[in-house]
Amino acid sequence: MFSKTLLTTFVFLASTTQLAFGSPITAPTLESRTLREDLIVTLPEAKYQGTYNAATGIVEFLGIRYGKSPTGALRFAAAQPPSSISPPPLVAANKQPNACIQSDYGAAASNPYVGSGVASAFTSRAENLQIRADAPQSEDCLFMNVHVPYTPNVDPGALPVVMWFHGGGYAMGSASMYDGSLLTKASSNKVITITVQYRLGLFGFLAGEETKKNGQPNAGLMDQELAMKWVHEYVRAFGGDPHKMTIWGQSAGAGSVLHHAVSRDGKTQRSDTSTDPYYNAAIASSPFTPPQYKHNDPIPTQLYNLVASQAGCTGTGSFACLRSATTAKLTTVNAAIAKAGFGGQYAFVPVIDGTFLTQTIAKGLKKGTTIGASFNHFEHLDKALMTVSNVDEGLIFINPAITLTAAEYAKQLFPNLTAAQQTQIQTAYASFPNAFARASAIMGESHIVCPSLWAATSFATANKPTFKAKFAIAPAVHLQDVSYYFNGLVINPQIPPPFSAAKFQTTFAQSFLSFAVSQDPNNKLDAPNSLLPSWTKYTTSSLKEEVFGQKDATTGDIKMADVDAAVRTRCQMWDSLLDVTAV
């Protein structure tokens, strides 16, 4: 973006978009974010005027609409692109967009399986990150923030793109919570960062037969796909190359990444005749993959009926009633159901709808490992995958006072487990010292650690360049690594990152941004304060991962190591229990 030739000679056109400039941009001396008349991107629905941040050298476009308001007939339906407006109005893109409707964390204080102590502290940390918002909540929330490096010497349309899917259990989160300019800065201003919002809770993931007949059970995931389509159509206008796009998510956002990898049985559905995939690389950080059911299985059906009952929409015509209900009513229902859920779990999550998702993530990934190295199942992804998990992913979801056995706790997570399968789990986790440690390991491994391992194994088997990492800065809990990717993001002022040595943090963040730029995490991206780790590809024969730990209070410890054998064994067990999710 902002090449000298482009700035001085013409208006750049990209499909129906244009990036319009006034006089040539000279080195600015602005003190803070300032709207610039020479930074206007014209899209079909609006002319967006960006802001320049002199402190970072980054141009920001906040609140770019990528989908129509999903209200009225579009509530619970697949999102649609915005309507064109002629002439498009001028919009100052300097305010955070409305956040999608949020719901409470499923681990309410009244729930007997979430209490006080360490787990509660980190749960609070998670809640503060996911619920804190700089904008009001609304159903009209299909917006993205675009962070573009001010790079006068880069040709237009040449910059790699990173699209960030936020976490939050498919129930919470917004673009305003994640300053995408921090990722662009970590890349030495070599990538465009786009943070995307998508419908959450029952607004994005209401399942059941009625939703399947009349709407879209996985509307939130379809929102993300529409955002990827937007990149292919319009990112050139911001200086981005749609053929160099990495999708990256954390927690539910990383689970979303894996959902897209296996969606439509691994084949991209395009609205045109292009053979280009929507993205060519993916990063899954702590991929949260809760149990998945068919859209009309008993649990999703019971949830639909519960929503209808609490909204006063029972009987025939329930779906039409829900579609016409007030936002306030559905927001109340959404929050009430989330709050009543089992600790650490979320009510409204992706389901197998038979069209967009034809199988669980686990089975889709397993298909890649079964067919072998010649398998080209993942047509979405033609270059590379990186996965990362933390040492203790489950801790924040567990009450330290828990007394359930491993078998009992596993049954709460996976209601379809048989008695024999419960016994198998009980045996697998018998060596853990207490109920809290066992539950933390079961939750973390079954929902996050094992999916991360399965993804790496599947893509490596399919001859896709694959890198795997482990975040091991104590206590290495779920969410802790977010402030290391977004160097400077404060998750919770009461619990700062426990280790923030500059070289370590720069190296950690730049490994992922280097991967986004070149599909190789070993490049330093011109950062003088970065170490140079020696990543090797993850293969099914070497089973190596890059471990990010620390030696002492000021020194990091970055090294390749074998994936823990005990974890691999337990993940093999969970792999054998795929049928507990009924698909």
Question: Can you spell out the DSSP letters for 514-537?
Answer: HHHHHS-TT--TT-TT--------
Q: Could you tell me which of 547, 551, 548, 550 has the C-alpha nearest to residue 560?
A: 547
How far, in Å, CA of 435 to CA of 289, rounded? 23
Asked if residue 13 belongs to a domain, the reply is no
How far, in Å, CA of 547 to CA of 192, rounded? 27
Q: Are strands 47-53 and 34-42 parallel, antiparallel or unpaired?
A: antiparallel
Asked if residue 197 belongs to a domain, the reply is yes
Question: How many residues make up the chain in this entry?
Answer: 583
Composition of the chain by helix, strand, coil, percent to 5: 35, 15, 45
Domain, as residue range, for 484 = 27-581
Question: Can you spell out the DSSP letters for 230-276?
Answer: HHHHHGGGGTEEEEEEEEEEETHHHHHHHHHHHGGGG----SSS---
Asked if residue 6 belongs to a domain, the reply is no
In this predicted structure, what is the pLDDT of residue 537?
94
Asked if residue 3 belongs to a domain, the reply is no
Asked if residue 12 belongs to a domain, the reply is no
In this predicted structure, what is the pLDDT of residue 24?
25
How far, in Å, CA of 232 to CA of 230, rounded? 5
**In this structure, what CATH number is given to the domain that contains residue 502?**
3.40.50.1820
In this predicted structure, what is the pLDDT of residue 257?
95
- Render each residue's pLDDT in the chain as its tens digit; 583 residues: 443 222 222 222 233 333 332 222 232 333 345 666 678 999 999 999 999 988 888 999 999 999 999 999 999 999 999 999 999 999 999 999 999 999 865 443 333 333 333 334 444 444 444 444 456 899 999 999 999 998 765 666 789 999 999 999 999 999 999 999 999 999 989 999 999 999 999 999 999 999 999 999 999 999 999 999 999 999 999 999 999 999 999 999 999 999 998 888 766 545 454 556 788 899 999 999 999 999 999 999 999 999 999 999 998 999 999 999 999 999 999 999 988 877 678 999 999 999 999 988 888 887 755 443 333 445 555 678 999 999 999 998 898 889 999 999 999 999 989 999 999 999 999 999 999 999 999 999 999 999 999 999 999 988 889 999 999 998 898 988 998 999 878 765 545 567 777 788 888 998 999 999 999 898 877 765 566 668 999 999 989 999 999 988 888 899 999 999 999 999 999 988 865 554 4
Asked if residue 15 belongs to a domain, the reply is no
Question: Can you spell out the DSSP letters for 121-136?
Answer: HHHHHHHHHHH--SS-
Q: Which long-range contacts (CB under 8 A, 24 or more apart) does 536-541 make?
A: 536/560, 537/460, 537/465, 537/466, 537/467, 538/456, 538/457, 538/460, 538/466, 538/467, 538/468, 539/460, 539/466, 540/369, 540/457, 540/460, 540/461
Q: Could you tell me which of 76, 141, 20, 67 has the C-alpha nearest to residue 304?
A: 76
SS3 330: helix
How far, in Å, CA of 56 to CA of 273, rounded? 39
Q: Which long-range contacts (CB under 8 A, 24 or more apart) does 10-16 make?
A: 12/156, 12/236, 12/237, 14/157, 14/233, 14/234, 14/236, 14/237, 15/233, 15/234, 15/236, 16/43, 16/44, 16/84, 16/233
Q: Could you tell me which of 164, 206, 239, 185 has the C-alpha nearest to residue 76?
A: 206
Asked if residue 435 belongs to a domain, the reply is yes
Residue 62: both structure tokens together: 């906040």
Asked if residue 4 belongs to a domain, the reply is no
SS3 484: helix
- 229 exposed, middle or buried (CB, 10 Å; 0-12, 13-18, 19+)? middle
Q: Could you tell me which of 279, 258, 165 has the C-alpha nearest to residue 457?
A: 258
Domain count, the chain: 1
Question: Can you spell out the DSSP letters for 356-397?
Answer: S--S-HHHHHHHHHHH-TT----TT-SSEEEEEEETBTTGGG
Task: Look at phi and psi of residue 273 and say left if phi exceeds 0, alpha if psi is from -120 to 50, else beta.
Answer: alpha
How far, in Å, CA of 543 to CA of 312, rounded? 53
DSSP secondary structure letter of residue 188:
T
